[in-house]
Amino acid sequence: MNPQSELSKLPAVDHLLQMEPVAALISSYGHTWVVDAIRAVLAALRQEILSGAPAPTAPQIVERIELTIEQQAAPTLRPVINAAGVILHTNLGRAPLSSSVVAAMAWIGPVYSNLEYDLAAGQRGSRYIHAEDLLMRLTGAQAALVVNNNAAAVLLALSALARDREVIISRSQLVEIGGGFRIPEVLAASSARLVEVGTTNRTYVHDYQAAVTPQTAAILRVHQSNFRLQGFVHQPALHELAELAHDQRLLLVDDLGSGTLLPTELYGLPHEPTVQESLEAGADLVTFSGDKLLGGPQAGIIVGRAELVARLREFPLTRALRVDKTAIAGIQANLLHYAHGEAQQAIPVWRMIAATAGEIHARAEAFLLKLGETTLDWHLIPGRSMIGGGALPEESLPTTLLALPVPSAQRLAAALRRGDPPVVARVEEDTLLFDLRTVLPEQEDMLAERLRSVLAGIAF
């Protein structure tokens, strides 16, 4: 077969544009989009022909063009089955939302609402009241404010309260958070001046005290999130920093990172400082995320003294960082789970954390039955589920893993990721591992079907 002869059989772009199915595509997607797709398909076909493939027929080319456009027009953000065992998987969207949260967001999204309208007074109101009262009740704070993520919360607090002044922070807390963002860069963006004290492993109250000058505005404590210092280490207790800050007429801002309203030690995990504890210890402002251990939509939450929160509300940057009506509806619905004492049962993140090793093992055994008869070496092994999301670094929970040792584990994992719905699993030493702790119960049948389908199409 002569490649040049086969290449000559490919129709020109203009010829394809005159074909009826392609003209229909132009009506739906526009001329430019279709022309780009045609050129992309023809370029791919030329490479295939030069590699030895025969030239396709015109109808086959049109079918390729249609498929290309359908793929380009399909949403790129898709539901995924997380079988990797990381509860707060940053790359997979962090906290899955409860059905009540999703319903609240869908309820408010399509209609007008009293987002910034006081129905009783018949005049303009504030979007921040819808979550503030719940946050005050749940944390004991005097006031609260919601912005679009925790980095924004820290940026806003420092911009409004410490601009062109000094902020003291321990060297051990100059952390880098997800996406390469670093605390020193957030401080610089706020126009606050960073003052580092102590050493990487040991910082004392007197280090902070020695750094105070007339230009000092605040002490900032930052949760170390994705790592932990162990061994010869020391950090002052928060109440000690609060005492120093208030004696010096400074502010104490506590960035909890993930932040939790529930005591993590009840679920076999080390103690994670709660928002309530930070306020009780004397922090003037506490910032934390809404989409990690809180288990709701993405948000940055600021709670603390009323006069400080009022200053943040009035600061111009707040408008650029505010959340929309659907996020506020979701945040409020998520906080109501805590107010009703049902967080462990209703919020997926806490339901996963609270699940016992025995419950996960029973789910794994039942799931093997769903897979049906097979000649493959499926078996159950003990493992660990990671918390993830910058919360409780290196901490995990006991789980049961479904293990499938195969020589083509990476290839099988890639095939599972490409399907619908995509499945994300773990691969360790030519063994594919699935952790049902992070698989939502309603996704189990889909996972079983995807596994049966993919395994049937791969030769081992």
153 pLDDT more than 80: yes
Supply the pLDDT for residue 27: 93
Supply the pLDDT for residue 407: 85
Mean pLDDT of 405-430: 92
pLDDT level of residue 373 (50, 70, 90 thresholds): confident
Supply the pLDDT for residue 7: 87
Gap between the Cα atoms of 448 and 434, Å rounded: 11
Supply the pLDDT for residue 423: 97
DSSP 254-292: EE-TT-BSS-GGGGTS----BHHHHHHTT-SEEEEESSS
pTM of the complete model: 0.89
Express each pLDDT in 256-306 by its tens digit. Answer: 989 999 999 999 998 899 999 999 999 999 999 999 999 999 999 999 999
Express each pLDDT in 433-447 by its tens digit. Answer: 999 999 999 999 999
Comparing 353-362, 391-400, 428-437, the range with the smallest average pLDDT is 391-400
Domains and CATH numbers, the chain: 3-72 (no CATH), 81-88+353-456 (3.90.1150.180), 98-346 (3.40.640.10)
Q: Which residue has the tokens 């993590």?
A: 264
Mean pLDDT of 333-346: 97
Higher pLDDT, 187 or 253: 253
Cβ partners under 8 Å of residue 248, min gap 6: 209, 212, 216
Express each pLDDT in 266-279 by its tens digit. Answer: 999 988 999 999 99
Supply the pLDDT for residue 1: 66
351 pLDDT more than 80: yes
Express each pLDDT in 210-232 by its tens digit. Answer: 999 999 999 999 987 665 666 66
Mean pLDDT (the chain, rounded): 92
Structure tokens at 144: 């609260």
Gap between the Cα atoms of 321 and 155, Å rounded: 10
Strands in 294-362 per DSSP E:
300-304
Cis bond before residue 421 (omega within 30° of 0): yes
Supply the pLDDT for residue 393: 63
Tell me which amino acid residue 81 is: I
pLDDT level of residue 181 (50, 70, 90 thresholds): low
Question: Quick one: what percent of the chain has pLDDT higher than 90?
Answer: 78
459 pLDDT more than 60: no
Supply the pLDDT for residue 177: 66
C-alpha closest to that of 442 among 95, 81, 88: 81
457 pLDDT more than 80: no
Supply the pLDDT for residue 102: 98
97 pLDDT more than 60: yes
Question: Quick one: what percent of the chain has pLDDT higher than 70?
Answer: 95
Convert 164-226 into a string of H (helix), E (strand) and C (coil). CCEEEEEHHHCCECHHHCEHHHHHHHCCCEEEEECCCCECCHHHHHHHCCCCEEEEEEECCCC
pLDDT level of residue 180 (50, 70, 90 thresholds): low
Express each pLDDT in 56-84 by its tens digit. Answer: 999 999 999 999 999 999 899 999 999 99
Comparing 3-12, 15-24, 48-57, 389-398, the range with the smallest average pLDDT is 389-398
233 pLDDT more than 80: no
Q: How far is CA 45 from the centre of its chain?
A: 39
Comparing 86-100, 120-134, 216-230, the range with the smallest average pLDDT is 216-230
179 pLDDT more than 70: no
Higher pLDDT, 52 or 337: 337
pLDDT level of residue 389 (50, 70, 90 thresholds): confident
